Amino acid sequence: MRRGFLIGTKWPALLLLALSEVAAMALWFSASAVLPVLTAQYDLSPFQQSLFTSAVQVGFVCGSLVSAFFGLADRLDARRFFSGAAIIAALANAGLLLVEPTSPIVPLFRFITGAAMAGVYPVGMKMAASWAKGDMGLLVGLLVGALTLGSAAPHLFNAMGGLDWRFTLGTASMSAVAAAVSIHFFTMGPNVTAAPRFRPDNMLWAWRIKPLRLANFGYLGHMWELYAMWAWIGVFLSASFELWGAGNGNVGDDSATAAKLATFATIGAGAVGCLAGGYLADRIGRTALTMAAMTVSGVCALTVGLLFGASPWLLVPLCIVWGISIVADSAQFSAAVAELSNRFLVGTMLTLQTAVGFTLTLVTIHLMPVWVESLGWHYAFMPLAIGPFLGVVAMWRLRLHRDSHRMAGGRR
């Protein structure tokens, strides 16, 4: 592509990258967003419901581990890697339209979608970091905010499409194709480095270096909570709105549509948290911001179920606070890893971090139905608070480490 067609100045390039990320990441929860409709129409079991999300997580983990092992995020052209991955993911997602939702091939399509996402999310963060100059937290926050909006988008598509779950899946696939095209107009920033020599043991840096290890432990605490909430908040709100509506004579499509819009608002509000968190972390420090955010989100996990079946005017504001706080810190774990890593291995370290974190999400995504069954919706989210509270401990220890001055210009 000729240079004249590329966007080569910082903020226009980053805006293009963010929009491409939003469009591609719509695939992640495209199937999860239509779970209430699919469950009603096809009588899906709790395990089948979990697979719609967890198969993506497994695929992402496998794709990320392969990418990290071969250093693909640091050795391949970022735009081509992103574009090719988005196309593969879009085709796999569209494949769901060709089979029944109860088909055993559905988890395979979702697995392929997740594996391809390993070429979109971590690569996008590296692309953003190539433009960083004293604003790493904000730039990575911009990318994670885009991921958040992309993850929320299927719930908006779902509300627009009514009961037609095929509309949501088809729109998400077309959105990813658009991302695959638009990313070719992006230009890498001045911080891009030459590709390192292939060494599989580069992956071990994430655990050998104590500051990196602590940053990754903080990220694991965050991930214990995040994707289980994102995957199940729509089902929770749908059930809560239905219960409240039945007691107030407001049942049917109005209650269902309101729940979908509330889910979009809850997850989508996280984009605001990502940007605000990135801005603040560059000024008050990575560890200070992450500890504050995890404390708020942990409290929300403990209390949100107590409002199950209550008025949406009470429940939704708390969910939005949770949606903002639960992801406000996400980018800062990645920013910390980028700052604490060897600059030639930033892509590999980010990819490995996300691979391990998304492996953990499989546990809580599949435990949520168990907790709902045994504890009920009033208490099912409470175990998620364990993660952020342990994450606070890890980030406090990182704050005390001598190398913490390398983050956020010395602001830790």
User: Which of 17-21, 37-41, 217-221, 284-288 has the weakest average pLDDT?
Assistant: 37-41
The three-point CA angle 172-317-19 to 5° equals 30
Helices and strands counted in the chain (H then E)? 18, 0
Which residues lie closer than 8 Å to 115 by C-beta, 6 or more apart? 59, 60, 62, 63
Which residues lie closer than 8 Å to 165 by C-beta, 6 or more apart? 34, 37, 38, 101, 158
pLDDT tens-digit series, residues 239-253: 999 898 876 766 555
Q: What is the mean pLDDT of residues 169-185?
A: 92
Q: CA–CA separation, 313 vs 309, rounded Å?
A: 11
Question: Which band of pLDDT confidence, cut at 50, 70 and 90, is reported for residue 96?
Answer: very high
User: Quick check: 268 and 394 in contact, CB under 8 A?
Assistant: no
Instruction: Give the model's pLDDT for residue 2.
Output: 41
Q: What is the mean pLDDT of residues 153-180?
A: 80
Q: CA–CA separation, 30 vs 153, rounded Å?
A: 8
Q: What is the mean pLDDT of residues 26-38?
A: 78
Best CA proximity match to 190, nearest among 21, 335, 343, 81 = 343
User: Quick check: 216 and 383 in contact, CB under 8 A?
Assistant: no
Helix (H) or strand (E) holding 92, with range, is helix 78-94
Instruction: Give the model's pLDDT for residue 371.
Output: 95
Residue 29 has pLDDT above 90, yes or no: no
User: Quick check: 314 and 237 in contact, CB under 8 A?
Assistant: no
Q: For the chain, first and last CA: distance in Å?
A: 41
Q: CA–CA separation, 269 vs 297, rounded Å?
A: 13
- HEC profile for 156-171? HHHHHHCCCHHHHHHH
Q: For residue 77, count CB atoms less than 10 angstroms from its CB and return exposed for 0-12, middle for 13-18, buried for 19 or more.
A: exposed
Residue 6 has pLDDT above 70, yes or no: no
pTM, 2 dp: 0.76
Q: What are phi and psi for residue 208, nearest 5 degrees?
A: -75, -35
If you search the block for the tokens 């960083």, which residue do you land on? 132
Q: Of the ranges 99-108, 193-202, 372-381, 400-409, which is most confident? A: 372-381
Instruction: Give the model's pLDDT for residue 410.
Output: 60
User: Quick check: 325 and 313 in contact, CB under 8 A?
Assistant: no
Question: Which band of pLDDT confidence, cut at 50, 70 and 90, is reported for residue 110?
Answer: very high
Q: CA–CA separation, 97 vs 170, rounded Å?
A: 8
Q: What is the mean pLDDT of residues 10-35?
A: 84
Q: For residue 342, count CB atoms less than 10 angstroms from its CB and return exposed for 0-12, middle for 13-18, buried for 19 or more.
A: middle
Q: CA–CA separation, 113 vs 298, rounded Å?
A: 30
Residue 4 has pLDDT above 50, yes or no: no
Looking from the CA of 360 toward its CB, the CA atoms found within 13 Å total 18
Query: What 8-state DSSP symbol labels residue 7?
Result: B
Query: What 8-state DSSP symbol labels residue 382?
Result: G
Tokens of 71: 């250093």
Instruction: Give the model's pLDDT for residue 36.
Output: 75
> b/e per residue, 101-129, with b = 16+ CB within 10 A?
beeeebbebbbbbbbbbbbbbbbbbbbbb
Instruction: Give the model's pLDDT for residue 227.
Output: 86
Q: What is the mean pLDDT of residues 396-402?
A: 88
Q: CA–CA separation, 153 vs 97, rounded Å?
A: 19
Q: CA–CA separation, 314 vs 237, rounded Å?
A: 12
Instruction: Give the model's pLDDT for residue 109.
Output: 94
Instruction: Give the model's pLDDT for residue 380.
Output: 96
User: Quick check: 129 and 346 in contact, CB under 8 A?
Assistant: yes
DSSP per-residue letters across 257-275: HHHHHHHHHHHHTHHHHHH
Question: Which band of pLDDT confidence, cut at 50, 70 and 90, is reported for residue 397?
Answer: very high
Q: What is the mean pLDDT of residues 77-105?
A: 92
Q: What is the mean pLDDT of residues 57-78?
A: 83
Residue 200 has pLDDT above 70, yes or no: no
Q: Of the ranges 121-135, 192-206, 312-326, which is most confident? A: 312-326
